[in-house]
Amino acid sequence: MGKLPGRRLLPPLLLIVLLAEAPSRWVDAQRCVWYGECGDSKVEGKKYNCDYTGPPRPLDRKGYELLGELCPGLDYGDRGLCCDVDQLKSLKGSLQLPLQFLSRCPACFNNFMNLFCELTCSPHQSQFMNTTQLNGTSVTEVQYYIGQTFANAMYNACKDVQAPSSNVKALSLLCGRDAKDCNATNWIQYMFNIDNGQSPFPIIPIFSDAPVSGYSPMSNKTFACTEGLEDGSGPCSCQDCTKACGPEPVPPPPPPPWTIFGMDAMTVIMWISYSAFLLIFFGAVLGVWYYRKRTVMSEYGPILDSNNPLSLNADNPDQVNASCCETLGECFENALRTLFSSWGSFCVRHPSVVLLGSLIVVVASSGGLVYMRITTDPVDLWSSPSSQARQEKDFFDGHFGPFFRTAQLIITTPINDTFILSPYFGGSDVPFGAILRNDILHQVLDLQLDIESLTATYEGQTVTLQDICLAPLAPYNNNCTILSVLNYFQNSHDVLDHSVGDDFFVYADYHSHFLYCVSAPASLNDTTLLHDPCLGTFGGPIFPWLALGGYDGSNYNNATALVITFPVNNYLNDSVRLGRARAWEKEFIKFMKNFKNPNLTIAFSAERSIEDEIDRESKSDISTIAVSYVIMFVYISLALGHINGFRRLMVDSKISLGISGILIVLGSVSSSLGIFSYCGVPLTLIVIEVIPFLVLAVGVDNIFIVVQSYQRDERMPQEELHQQIGRILGDVAPSMLLSSLSETVAFFLGALSNMPAVRTFSLFAGLAVFIDFLLQISCFVSLLGLDAKRQEANRLDIFCCAKLPEGQETRTDSFLFRFFKKIFAPFLLKEWVRPIIVAVFVGMLSFSIAVVNKVEIGLDQKLSMPDDSYVLDYFKNLTAYLNTGAPVYFVVEDGLNYSSSEGQNAVCGGVGCNNDSLVQQVYIASLIGNYTTVGFTPSSWLDDYFDWVKPQSSCCRYYNTSREFCNASVVDPSCVHCRPMTPAGKQRPQGEDFMRFLPMFLSDNPNAKCGKGGHAAYATAVDVYRNRTGVGATYFMTYHTILKESPDFIEALKMARVLAANITASVGHRVFAYSIFYVFYEQYLTIAHDTALNLSVSLAAIFAVSTVLLGFEVWSAVLVSVTIAMILVNMFGVMWLWSISLNAISLVNLVMCCGISVEFCSHIVRAFSISVKNNRLERAEEALAHMGSSVFSGITLTKFGGILILALSKSQIFQVFYFRMYLAIVLLGATHGLVFLPVLLSYIGPSVNKAKVFSANKRCAGTERERLLNY
């Protein structure tokens, strides 16, 4: 077959046709859709572009620099563009805020500008743009075909970029919704929507990677945030690019509980230990019993056997086989007895001299009360000036000013109502709680405006909120900072009621505005049809987590509470301005107490509230304390006398002596207060409330011992009254000295504590106890002598002039003494009772040891308030509704060189910054906030300064004539950029440039043209040297997560310090964390150690003093110390059972417990040690019979009545830390001293001191006391 003619000519012809069409297609590709500006847009201040379908035109040379500034990654060569200089200027003006926020991340910024540069100027516009509406020559709507891959890549590069000053992601400010709800599609749609106030006409984006309707979507090359750019810019920082961070940090798991067999380890250990003890102890008891039964021999036989060289009944009484220590102890005991006997005799013989001298000393010492200062400042009360938190607080206050004061409302409503918003333009239904109802918000706004208009008076001058409030933009904007949801509506009823709609539908109202503002609180123009600003009237954002409460996650529309905060300026060392602030706060509290609204439930507090309530609580408890002391005074006055019959009631009573004894106690307290007031040591409320109780316990016990020893004693033949009292004092004063000196030394050593409350208490208590002892052995002895003479003369008590006729006197022992001697002591020391006593008390000890590590640490702040305090409601609501913790500042101390790249990289969080910089570490910590307690990304003045000073931004400008700062809102041709649009100018400022522009940044107020001005956010964050040669201390602020209980606050402080230490190590310069509550909670970091140290030192002091004053009987001192230690450990068991936490107040009580326990134990042990009975059992019985009644009546009964009254106090602190702990101290002290200790002494008490026995026999030979001694 032949070929068809012309077939071989077809390919060459097709090629010719294609080649002929190529120039035409190139011309089509180089076609514009607009050029130039030619009409005013409906959007205020914007212009339409002119319709133009011709080829691109060359750009005027005046626009080259601007094109390079806006589109640095696009090289159009010498070809023409579809935009002129005016369009470039409009583009720059519209993109100022995105430029400032997104330029932190070069890849994001590059992709973003690609989108707008291609839209505005690309010579290939016609390939991906279609004009859909014209108005004459003006383009009023276009379609923009965008590659879906490009859009996603742009979004992914930008989604993590931060806005440091706002603690939110930049897209929250640029996407028209919360960053978490933003995606590539709705972000671009928002930017091209005229409702954002920046787009001059609608631009309809169409997303596709494939050609659509003959158009090829714009799909320029994009960069991931982990990639560097071709111009040398580095990848984005971890803070702005999650993918650059590596794997997300995972908090370490909490330490597992210590268990054995699945049960608490301490409980198991103590159960095993207690069981083993019972087995061994009862085995030993039964073994001894069985042995004694078989040998028919007393366990004390070797002692009683006269043939035994150790026997007390040896045939030769003139010889004693005493050891050196026993002889030394007896000599020391004899010296004390002689000294006190002589002194007692002198006091009785010369009462006027002693009383007058004592009065002079007391009055002179108490004169210091004129200089008395009472510390009520909680900082001074709980934090030592040398503590780390206190020094850091002083540093912060000195460099940045003290943390502002606050007045705050937490508002809820009893109305149970939910409104469902169905958005007109589509979307899911949104529920709103009753607290966000329009009528409720109007009522809250009325309340807020009323508070703003409150006036107070201070020193004759009127004080308003405007005079004292925090106004960060003053003097340009004097509006007060009010952190309130109503500030989203400019604190205006009209704005709150602003809505857009028709007769059928509401397109936008306050619901729409609220939803927008909680996602973009720094926005100047919402995207709804309302176009109202979200920024507060004071010029700053209102973060929803600060103004709302009771919501879940970030669903702020579910809020059940409104939080309104009025920050008030605080002042350091300016009493006048501080007084004005306190006067307004007082008026605020008064107003809120009287405010009534059935639809609103309001909890409120001002900065002075806690201090005021504590002061009110102290005054209201004066009556309770007074009643408590009156009961104790009445008991002492009545119980001190021993009535031998109704006829001699007024003769034998000791009312006047009892009152004198009480006055001596009060005199010792006032003397102690006065002496330390002379020295300038301030008092605390704890000192005033606790020390009289303590000294009364110690002093009254000694009074009872002296008086009852005299009442039981019989005067020997030829012995005068002064000799009798001197002899009695010689017997009992060493015991008084033992207890008083032990307590004094223990208290003074307790003053080594770093806790001011404990240190102050210990100082005052130690001196008061010692002065009380001195007055008792002098002044009281003289008074006892005078009272004894009155009684012997049959004169009536109080009415000394009246005299009872002579009559026969029958002396009898008191009921309490007979009870202890005849019933209690014999029963307690029975063979079968003693093992039970030991088992019970060791069981109590084992239980207490098992729970000692379970006692909570901290102080619930609610306990510091009276039961009827309005602050309790505030604390309750604070815990229930607030979702954010206190601000925390990471402070960089002076000395870091911010002008160098090394110094900048060590701190900043943007491109080129170190991965372990300060901002980066805090940011990473915020990702695991449940562990670190850091809730948000930190605000960084340094990163915002770098964005502010960039030449692409319109923020940093100055007048080229005066070199003064020119704000971005100023339109003046003489204003020029601070830095040139050159590669060097685009770098961070260093050296002189850094300090040249920094003051401008810190004085610049944010506005629509520049949202990065640092005046509002950072005016106090940077301490610039006066000569502007450098930067001193600075801080970077974030917030803690919500903290509710004491353990939360303690953990927050601990974790913040760990983070600060890590930052310090990486930066190479000291950085510390500071928050307002650290100074109060620092004590709890070491309180367990401090408690153990204080109590150990006190016990060591008691042991040392007891060893010496018991005649160097080490074993006696050991038993005293062991018993007191048992009391202290059992106190921890009571604290756990009764929910009493360990804090400074309870530590003071434990130190006091240590002192009072000496009174319960030392007298019994000393009486045992000097007893000359035949065996331990008899010596224990004698000690308990003679000293037990005095201790029981002197401390236990005296305190018991007074303590019970404390339960009626309105103060929760009194109920918990005074009533409960005092009751436990008295009951544990009494049971251990009067029940356990005698039993312990009967088993393992020290052997009798043979030298003391020999001396006693020799001293009493030939007297009536010899018969009593042998009996």
Looking at the predicted structure, is the pLDDT value of residue 20 above 50? no
Backbone angles phi, psi at 144, to 5 degrees: -125, 110
* Residue 1259: per-residue pLDDT: 63
Mean pLDDT of 725-752: 84
Tell me the average pLDDT across 805-830: 76
What are the pLDDT digits (tens) for 502-537?
878 888 899 989 988 888 787 777 777 888 888 889
pLDDT tens for each residue of 69-119: 888 766 666 678 999 999 998 888 888 778 878 888 889 989 999 999 999
Q: What is the pLDDT of residue 322?
A: 67
What pLDDT, on a 0 to 100 scale, did the predictor assign at position 712? 75
pLDDT of residue 675: 93
Residue for token pair 């930052």: 1063
Decide if 862 contacts 869 (C-beta within 8 A): no
Q: Is the pLDDT of residue 648 over 80?
A: no
pLDDT of residue 498: 92
pLDDT band at 24 (very low <50, low <70, confident <90, very high): very low
Beta carbons of 747 and 1148 less than 8 angstroms apart: no
Q: Any idea which residue has 């353990």 for tokens?
A: 1047
pLDDT of residue 1083: 87
| Rounded-to-integer distance, Cα 558 and Cα 538, Å | 26
pLDDT band at 691 (very low <50, low <70, confident <90, very high): confident
Mean pLDDT (the chain, rounded): 84
Q: Please give the single-letter amino acid code of residue 91.
A: L
pTM of the model: 0.82
Over range 1168-1194, report the average pLDDT: 83
Residue type, 904: Q
Question: With 90 as the cut, is the pLDDT of residue 624 above it?
Answer: no
d(CA 797, CA 801): 9
Residue 656 to residue 636: CA distance in whole angstroms: 10
Q: What digits encode the pLDDT tens for the residues 1034-1089?
A: 999 999 998 988 899 999 999 999 999 999 999 999 999 999 999 989 988 888 99
Angle at 184 between CA 180 and CA 189, to 5 degrees: 105
193 — pLDDT class (breaks 50, 70, 90): confident
- What does the pLDDT read at residue 1158? 84
Distance CA 554, CA 551 (A): 7
Q: Which pLDDT does position 243 carry in this prediction?
A: 86
Q: Is the pLDDT of residue 1191 over 60?
A: yes
Q: What is the pLDDT of residues 382-412, one digit of tens each?
A: 788 888 999 999 999 999 988 889 999 999 9
> Given a cut of 60, is residue 8 above it in pLDDT?
no
Nearest-angstrom CA–CA distance, 405 and 397: 13
Averaged pLDDT for residues 1140-1148: 87
Confidence of residue 252 (pLDDT cuts 50, 70, 90): confident
On the question of pLDDT at 935 being above 50, the answer is: yes
Question: What local confidence, expressed as pLDDT, does residue 1271 receive?
Answer: 41
Strand pairing partners for 259?
A: 264
Strands (E), 422-509: 430-433, 455-458, 461-464, 500-501, 506-508
**Paired strand residues for 1142:** 857
649: confidence class by pLDDT, cuts 50, 70, 90: low
pLDDT above 90 for 495: yes
Among 69-83, 174-188, 962-976, name the one with the lowest average pLDDT: 69-83
pLDDT, position 1001: 92
Most confident region among 810-814, 928-932, 1108-1112, 1206-1210 by mean pLDDT: 928-932
% of the chain with per-residue pLDDT over 90:
34
Is pLDDT of 36 > 90? yes
Rounded to whole angstroms, the Cα distance separating 776 from 772 reads: 6
Q: Under DSSP, is residue 1024 helix (H, G, I), strand (E, B) or coil? A: strand
Cα–Cα dist 613/1211, whole Å: 10
Element (H, E) at 48: strand 47-51
Q: Which stretch of 577-581, 717-721, 840-844 has the lowest confidence by average pLDDT?
A: 717-721
1173-1201 mean pLDDT: 79
Residue 1262 has pLDDT above 60, yes or no: no
What DSSP line would sit under 1044-1074, residue for residue? -SHHHHHHHHHHHHHHHHHHHHHHTS-EEEE
How much is the pLDDT for 804? 65
Is residue 239 pLDDT above 60, yes or no? yes
Question: For residue 1175, what pLDDT is reported?
Answer: 84
